[in-house]
Amino acid sequence: MWRRRLLTGMLVWLAATPASAFVAYVSNEKGNTVTVIDTTSWTVTKTIKVGQRPRGIEFSRDGKFVMVAVGDDDTIQVIDTKTQEIVDTLPSGPDPELFTQDAAGKTMYVANENDNTVTVIDLEKRARLGDIQVGVEPEGMTISPDGKILINTSETTNMAHFIDTTTRQIVANVLVDSRPRFAQFKRDGSELWISSEIGGTVSIIDPVKREVTGKITFEIPGLRNEAIQPVGIGMTKDGKTAFVALGPANRVAVVDANTYEVKDYLLVGQRVWQLAFSPDGSHLFSTNGISNDISIIDTARDEVIQSVQVGEQPWGVAVADTQ
């Protein structure tokens, strides 16, 4: 009997432990901190004090830095991953929220919620190159796999703006459902997915025709439609499965990315916001803004295997290999 229990315990531990060592950085919007998590032990190793209202967070392409948008300080703070200290700031506009980088990690594009612009930053020179005027309350940011088109979503205008990265001009506007929050290309560039928080949908856009070709809706027994609010989106490397964070529904939807069928709803913490994969795609991390924790999903089994307490109102998460 004891051997069976020991074996069962070992299997549970192995399932919850990544095959490779990763580190996760979580921005805590109300706590004004970034939490650092060791994924081999699922423990918090450091809490970094940052500026006011940190939200969007990403690693630099070389993994040496973590960049976090601190909205109430109107800047992007840069954290050295070795010292885990703030070493620099980048010039954004008022209230930066989400941002994206080109594939080379040389240029950053920042959505500034309070002045309806996207700021373009030269990451090598740490210099502001200019601003692009977009719709009201810009938030979602992504760049096409070929680097030619930048996407920004505007929450109040309810549009996905297609921006030519060479000319920095808007070349198309696509109307989506109410309050678009997040934008994500499939890795092959064949589709663009836009989540609409109040509309309760994910719009599928053909990037060539620049028109909506389909919509994904969500139904959870026992929950009103108003409680189902799509925000963060994560797409597997093979493009077969998408995960959609559903806000106050406290679920992450598992979606067949080819048929658009919702296969499952995974119960996570309260008020799920953003999602991020481990580099090998084996785990998906969700930030849960009210329960002040993150949930970890085993993507092979579509199962929540762990939760870790972090700071106050976690919002964004970035995951990378241990340096």
Please report whether residue 257 resides in a domain.
Answer: no
Please report whether residue 94 resides in a domain.
Answer: yes
DSSP β-bridge partners for residue 54: 70
**CA 50 from centroid of its chain's CA atoms:** 19
Residue 19's pLDDT band, with cuts at 50, 70 and 90, is: low
Summarised one tens digit per residue, pLDDT across range 79-127 is 999 999 999 999 999 999 999 999 999 999 999 999 999 999 999 999 9
- For residues 146 and 207, give the distance between their C-alpha atoms in angstroms, rounded to a whole number: 12
Please report whether residue 103 resides in a domain.
Answer: yes
Please report whether residue 118 resides in a domain.
Answer: yes
AA letter at 229: Q
Please report whether residue 224 resides in a domain.
Answer: no
Q: Give the domain CATH number at 165.
A: 2.130.10.10
Residue 8's pLDDT band, with cuts at 50, 70 and 90, is: very low
Q: Tell me if 154 sits within 8 A of 136, measured CB to CB.
A: yes
Domain that holds residue 87: 52-175
The total number of structural domains in the chain stands at 1
- CA dist 270 to 61, 198, 230, 306, 314, Å? 31, 18, 14, 14, 11
Q: Tell me if 45 sits within 8 A of 37, measured CB to CB.
A: yes
Summarised one tens digit per residue, pLDDT across range 181-233 is 999 999 999 999 999 999 999 999 999 999 999 999 999 999 999 999 999 99
DSSP β-bridge partners for residue 159: 154, 175
- For residues 70 and 57, give the distance between their C-alpha atoms in angstroms, rounded to a whole number: 9
E strand intervals along 60-168 = 65-70, 75-80, 85-91, 96-101, 107-112, 117-122, 127-133, 138-143, 149-154, 159-164
Q: Tell me if 251 sits within 8 A of 268, measured CB to CB.
A: yes
DSSP 71: G
Q: Enter the tokens of residue 1.
A: 């009997």
Sign, Cα dihedral of 253, 206, 57, 103:
positive
DSSP 20: S
**Helix, strand, coil percentages, rounded to 5, for the chain:** 5, 55, 40
Please report whether residue 8 resides in a domain.
Answer: no
Please report whether residue 171 resides in a domain.
Answer: yes
- For residues 284 and 319, give the distance between their C-alpha atoms in angstroms, rounded to a whole number: 9
User: What is this structure's pTM?
Assistant: 0.93
Please report whether residue 61 resides in a domain.
Answer: yes
Query: Which ranges of the chain would DSSP assign to H, the alpha helix?
Result: 2-16
- For residues 164 and 151, give the distance between their C-alpha atoms in angstroms, rounded to a whole number: 9
pLDDT at 285: 98
Helix, strand or coil, per DSSP, at residue 72? helix
CB atoms near residue 293 (< 10 Å)? 20
| Angle formed at CA 73 by CA 69 and CA 76, multiple of 5 degrees | 30
Q: Is the pLDDT of residue 11 over 50?
A: no
